[in-house]
Structure 1
Amino acid sequence: MADRQQVFTQVQAQIAPFNKKGVALTEATTFAGDLEWDSLTVMDFVAAIEDEFDIIITMNMQAEIETVGQLVDAVIKLKSA
């Protein structure tokens, strides 16, 4: 499995087209607060992440993921399942 930094870099690349405000990304960056994404943006982004990593992120998981770091953890968990 890819290491955490590699997954973080891939997630950053997926966030870039949606990062309209040019927010500097860290593990603590929040999707709703820092990036100010609406629900449609979130759905488009989740689809991009699912395609990139060939995973399925359930609605329950989406509800629990608030930061970039939490998303990286979820991707790693799903890829190793």
Structure 2
Amino acid sequence: MTDRAQIFDIVAEQIAPFNKKGIALTESTTFAGDLEWDSLTVMDFVAAVEDAFDIIITMNMQAEIETVGQLVDAVAKLKG
């Protein structure tokens, strides 16, 4: 099982191409507020994360994920 730090690093790699403002990532970085992503960017990013981890993130889960840390937790849970 991939540990949380490894998941964070992979998520950070997936964020990089979408991080136009060069925001430093932390567990509390928000996608809408800090990174200023629109819904299309979020969809592209979610697809990249799903491919990277071979998981499916449901629309309900997406609605609850606001920070990088919450996404890391969700990926860890899905990877089981």
Q: TM-score range by the shorter chain?
A: over 0.9
Task: Show the counterpart of 2:63.
Answer: 63
Name the SS of the counterpart of 2:24 in structure 1: coil
> How far apart, CA to CA, are the structure 1 residues paired with 2:69 and 2:3?
13
The one-letter code matched in structure 1 to 2:59 is M
Is there any run of 5+ residues in structure 2 with no aligned partner, and where?
none
Q: Report the TM-score, using the length of structure 1 for normalisation.
A: 0.98
**How many residues were matched structurally?**
80
Aligned to 1:2: 2
Quote the offset at 1:18 in angstroms: 0.2
Q: CA RMSD in A?
A: 0.2
Unaligned runs of 5+ in 1: none
Runs of 4+ with deviation above 3 angstroms: none
Aligned partner letter, 1:21: K
Residue 51 of structure 2 aligns with an amino acid whose one-letter code is D
